[in-house]
A and B are shown apart, each in its own frame.
Chain A
């Protein structure tokens, strides 16, 4: 094993990079603690801000937002019974009842420490697994690269709520949007309708900010005008929860493993990880009747799993270039903006940066542990920020952030169009994550597909057969793609999203009774 991969990045962690990492963690806690703002939205809005930073500072800042927001959803879940991020939905079941008993500080403490341990476990897995997966992926042919990217999009379509066909439609529309501009092989202009601005293609960061930033605000504005007027529970002595963690080691370890595995499945994400871990805990707990009524093991299971997801999602991103969830899909955009293509080549071309990511991600888990334990009561006050002011500020940031990417107002127009498209998609119940993933991976997919087409001289099926009979990796990928596309036909219900929401509903009903 080459241990230099775990130390080579230290020289990139200068004062600027570390400062932006801290800023990222603080922003992440803010984004996560405020219901209605998600890690996806936070990362997509703040990507343009990282344009002038070094790649290390930029990526660490975004990772700080990602990991800390995943954790901070537990703050509002505990204090106002509303998960700050969707992945904290299971935390509300036990953290809020605990807060009602006057133990808000204890609940936040358990959530913070469990999140941090889950996150650290996932970083270790990331650091150990990703070099091996990348080594295998480096041997992939054009056909296999195409299949990996296509599998990523189809599994995201499968896991998104609603019909898989709609997820696939969103994905294929995204692939079509990625065709806009110069053809990557022959430089023929396509689908530009005479616009010179579109020759370089649709700016995917503007599309992301539109689909995830502007759309989310439109949906927030539509739902309510109200600001939280709850009486907040007093948060004290979060740090004393360290003693209690000893009795929860088993829960945290088991849930962290679940989190890492679920996180590595493209499209799954923290919400599903926490639901699976919570359900598993309920199944094996000695006192299952206590879960949902303020049990520390419920909080520990949900929180360690949803934070362990970050490392799982980053494993597939760094080793295969395939994101594990919506946030890492958006993060591909940040890598590309800084001239880095996420995937196996990073382990040769950007060796130091990969190492800095491992070290930085471990530091981030420690940072939010400290901020969370000692600053939760201050972050909780953010819940009083009036919604109209928050929404206005975010929209202004979306617009100027999009402009800042290339100092071009056309991109702001693109953002508006995608904001409206995202809103329409949401109303028509068509999932957005497959579309953004397809826009990002579209060019890579087309390049590999056309390269393969050119090698085979158009004889696709013979070459697939030849490749599959010579290479087991092709067979595995073909089976994975086939299973993802065919499995839903034989299933009456979707395994993940719908069963998950039914599970949450059942738990909430139990809690009420």
Chain B
């Protein structure tokens, strides 16, 4: 399926959802301007129109030229690396929430370089150096309160 059909359909779906969901908003006042739903509903209406327009445009363009546009392919294993890094980043947030910033940063800064192709020794050095650097910069120099995690607070 062409990317822009998906884009168009998703846009129509989001617009329709907001149009329906915004009917549950409290009114706020009696005039049109005081109705909190008016503006999001207008935006949703425009989104539905744009989604349909994109689908029609794509359909017309598809009819005119049957040769698919060349797609630039990512490097081998690229998407898997993105998924792993995104997972590690999510883990970073969760561990920071549970156990605080320092253990989370040490783990993340060790795992991420490994996923990206460095040796264990380099990853370990990066992990320690980055943790010390960020700790000194943010928590000592800029005096931002360090997250200790719900387990240690």
Contact between A186 and B117, CB atoms less than 8 A apart: no
Q: Is B151 an interface residue (CB 8 A)?
A: no
Q: Is A165 an interface residue (CB 8 A)?
A: yes
**Complex-state Cα separation, A474 to B45, whole angstroms:** 25
Count chain B CB atoms within 10 A of each CB in A183, A396, A401 and give the residue with the most: A396
Contact between A188 and B36, CB atoms less than 8 A apart: yes
Q: Is A388 an interface residue (CB 8 A)?
A: yes
**Complex-state Cα separation, A360 to B150, whole angstroms:** 44
Main SS of the interface on chain B? helix
**Complex-state Cα separation, A458 to B79, whole angstroms:** 50
**Complex-state Cα separation, A380 to B53, whole angstroms:** 48
Q: In the complex, which residues of chain A have a beta carbon less than 8 angstroms from the beta carbon of B26? A: 186, 188
Q: Is B68 an interface residue (CB 8 A)?
A: no
Q: Which of A128-136, A169-177, A329-337, A346-354 is the contact stretch?
A: A169-177
**Complex-state Cα separation, A395 to B134, whole angstroms:** 12
Contact between B3 and A428, CB atoms less than 8 A apart: yes
Q: Is A403 an interface residue (CB 8 A)?
A: yes
Residues of B with Cβ closer than 8 Å to A? 3-4, 6-7, 11, 14, 18, 21-22, 25-29, 31-34, 36-40, 43-44, 46-47, 50-51, 53-54, 57, 74-75, 78-79, 81-82, 85-86, 89-90, 92-93, 96-97, 101, 105, 108-109, 112-113, 116-118, 122, 126, 130, 134, 137-138, 142-145, 147
Contact between B147 and A409, CB atoms less than 8 A apart: yes
Contact partner of A176 (CB less than 8 A), chosen from B31, B47, B89, B118, is: B47
Chain B residue nearest to A391 in the complex (CB): B116
Contact between B40 and A191, CB atoms less than 8 A apart: yes
Q: In the complex, which residues of chain A have a beta carbon less than 8 angstroms from the beta carbon of B109? A: 392-393, 396
Contact between A225 and B50, CB atoms less than 8 A apart: no
| A209–chain B nearest beta-carbon distance, Å | 12
Contact between B43 and A393, CB atoms less than 8 A apart: no
Main SS of the interface on chain A? helix
Q: In the complex, which residues of chain B have a beta carbon less than 8 angstroms from the beta carbon of A393? A: 109, 126, 130
Contact partner of A185 (CB less than 8 A), chosen from B34, B96, B122, B144, is: B34
Contact between B40 and A186, CB atoms less than 8 A apart: no
**Complex-state Cα separation, A395 to B104, whole angstroms:** 13
Contact partner of A392 (CB less than 8 A), chosen from B47, B74, B116, B144, is: B116
Contact between A165 and B54, CB atoms less than 8 A apart: yes
Contact between A454 and B33, CB atoms less than 8 A apart: yes
Q: In the complex, which residues of chain B have a beta carbon less than 8 angstroms from the beta carbon of A423? A: 82, 86
Q: Is A222 an interface residue (CB 8 A)?
A: yes
Given contacts A176-B40, A388-B117, A428-B6, contact A403 B142 (CB under 8 A): no
Q: Is A147 an interface residue (CB 8 A)?
A: no
Contact between A458 and B36, CB atoms less than 8 A apart: no
Contact between B86 and A169, CB atoms less than 8 A apart: no
Chain B residue nearest to A222 in the complex (CB): B78
| A400–chain B nearest beta-carbon distance, Å | 6
Give 8 pairs: A residue, B residue, CB < 8 Å, sorted on A. A51-B142, A186-B36, A393-B109, A397-B134, A400-B101, A450-B33, A457-B31, A457-B33
Contact between A389 and B54, CB atoms less than 8 A apart: no
Chain B residue nearest to A175 in the complex (CB): B43
Q: In the complex, which residues of chain A have a beta carbon less than 8 angstroms from the beta carbon of B105? A: 396, 400
**Complex-state Cα separation, A169 to B15, whole angstroms:** 10
Q: Is A200 an interface residue (CB 8 A)?
A: no
Q: In the complex, which residues of chain B have a beta carbon less than 8 angstroms from the beta carbon of A401? A: 138
